[in-house]
Chain A
C-alpha cells in the first residue's frame, strides 16, 4: 500500500515569487516524516505540492520532480484529481462537511465522487475507517448526527477517518494538532503511530516534542529572511536531528535558541 516519494530539485513559485527553493528529499514508505521549521519557511507549501493541492491557489507552480515509486506526479499524463485520490490530506483546522452526518462525512470521498456503493460496503467502510481513526466507540450511536456537533479533537479524527476511508497511499498532515488540546493531541499522535504500519505519513508540525515523539525521520526547513525562499536545511533520522544535527541552525532551532 504505502509508497515511497522522491523529491528532486523542487522549486515552488507563487507567480514570480520563489517560495521554496531546491528541495531534494526521499520520503520512506511506512514511516512518519516530520517537517519542522519556523513559520513562513515553506513547510506547508512543500507539503501541498506532494498532492498538487497548491495548484488550487492561482499562479502557483513548481519546477523539478516529485516521484511516487518513479512516476512523476507532475508528468503531463498525470491527473491531479487522481493524485489527490491517492495522497490524502488532513488540515490544520478540522473541516468536516457541515451539511453531512458523521456517517456521510466518512463516506464523502465516495459520495462526492458519485460512486455507487452498497449499504453493506458503506457500513463496513464507515466502521473500519472510524475504528482506524479511534473514533468508533465515541460516535457509533450517533452516526446520523451532524459532524459539526463533535468536539474539535473528534472532528479532527473524523477528518482523518474521512481521509483514510478512500484508502490513500500517502497521508499528509498539515499541523493536525495545532487547534487541539493535549488529550486530543495524544489521541491523534497514537493514531499516527498506528497508521504508519499501512501508510506513508508526512506531518508538518510546530511542536518539536511532537516531531520527536511521532516521526521516524525529520526534515528541518529554514528561511534566510522575509522575501527569501525557504530551504531544506537538513534531513535525517529524528533521533539524530534532535541529538546531534550536522547543521548549526538546526541545533539552534531544536534546542529552542530561535524560532
Chain B
C-alpha cells in the first residue's frame, strides 16, 4: 500500500502553513534572550565571591602548609616563632565533629524514619515544628546551652571536647532530620508495598528496602550537616575553650579546633621581632597560621564531599 496524496500541497497552502508555524512572537524571543542573560549573570555573580574566597585562602594559606605545620602543635611557641603547627587543631576538629556526628546521625535518622514511616497526628506535627525551630537556633546559643547543661551536671569551669560535640549536635540534628526526611520521602511507596506483599515485616522493610534505597541520599544529607558545623567557631570557643597542646581525649581538658585556632591567631595580630625579620621570628606568622588553618579546613570539607560522592556512586541504584 503506497501513501498517495490526493491533494498535493499548493503554493497557497504551503505559504499559509509556513506563516502559521514560523510566526515567532518577537516578544517571546526577546524575553527568552533577556532571561538567559539574567540567569547567566546571576550565576556569574554568585561565583565571584566563591572563586575570590577560594583564591584568597589558597594563595594566602598555601605558603604556610608544610609537614611541620600539619604535624606539630603550638606548644611552647611564642611571638613570631614559625615552627609551630596545627596538628592539635586538626585532631580537635576531627574528634569533636566526629563525636557530634556520632550523636546526631542516629537521632536525626531515627527521627526522620519516625516522621516518614510512622508519624501521624499531633506528635509528628510538633516534632516537625520543633525541628524547624531548632534549624534557626544561633550557634552561640547552642554553645551556651551545652555549657549550661554540663555546668548543671559537673559544676562550673568544665570545658572539654564532648561539650562542644553536644553543642554542635544541637545545630546538626535538625539539618540531618530535614535532609533525611526528604530523602526517605523520595523512596517510592511501591517498593514498600512490594516488600510487604512478600511478607516482610515493616521494620525489615524500612531497614532493608527504604534505608538501602535511600542510603546515597542519606549520606549526602549527613555530609551537608557535617559541613554545616565543621566551621563553627563561637559554640566551641565557649564550650571547649582553647589550648596550644595536643589533646585527643574529648572527655577531659580543653581542645583546639581549626576555626577557633584561625580566630585566635588572627586576633593575635603582628608579633614584635626585636632583631627584625629572621628565620626564627616572622612578624606576621600568626596571620599566616590563620590562613593555613582556614585552607586546611576547606580541604577537609572538600575531602568529605569527595567521600560523599564516592559513597553516592557505590550505593545508588544502578540501571545496567
Contact = CB atoms under 8 A, between A and B. Distances in A.
Given A85-B199, A86-B199, A108-B194, 14 more contacts: A53-B197, A56-B192, A81-B201, A83-B199, A85-B198, A97-B191, A97-B213, A99-B212, A99-B213, A108-B195, A113-B200, A113-B201, A113-B204, A163-B197
Interface stretch (B20-28, B64-72, B312-320): B312-320
15 contacts: A51-B197, A53-B196, A81-B199, A81-B201, A88-B198, A95-B190, A95-B193, A97-B195, A98-B213, A99-B213, A112-B195, A112-B205, A149-B318, A149-B319, A163-B198
A4 to B, nearest CB: 20
B200 A81 contact: yes
Nearest to B208: A112
Contacts of A149: 318-320
Secondary structure at chain B's binding surface: helix, strand, loop or mixed? helix
Interface string A236-257: 0000000000000000000000
Given A53-B197, A81-B199, A99 B317 contact: yes
B120 A58 contact: yes
A8 interface: no
Nearest to A165: B198
B204 A114 contact: yes
A149 B317 CA distance: 11
A112 B197 contact: no
B193 A53 contact: yes
Contact of A84 (B188, B196, B315): B196
Contacts of B200: 81, 109, 112-113
A5 B50 CA distance: 67
Given A99-B317, A108-B198, A148-B319, A91 B204 contact: no
Contacts of B209: 97, 112
A208 B313 CA distance: 45
Interface string B155-190: 000000000000000000000000000000000101
B226 to A, nearest CB: 24
For the complex of A and B, 5 pairs with smallest distance between CB atoms: A85-B199, A98-B317, A89-B197, A95-B190, A109-B198
Interface in B271-320: 315, 317-320
A131 interface: no
A112 B197 CA distance: 12
Nearest to B216: A99
A146 B315 CA distance: 13
A56 B196 contact: yes
A8 to B, nearest CB: 24
Contact of B317 (A56, A89, A146, A159): A146
Interface in B109-150: 120
A224 interface: no
Contacts of B204: 112-114
A69 B90 CA distance: 68
Nearest to B212: A99
A113 B2 CA distance: 60
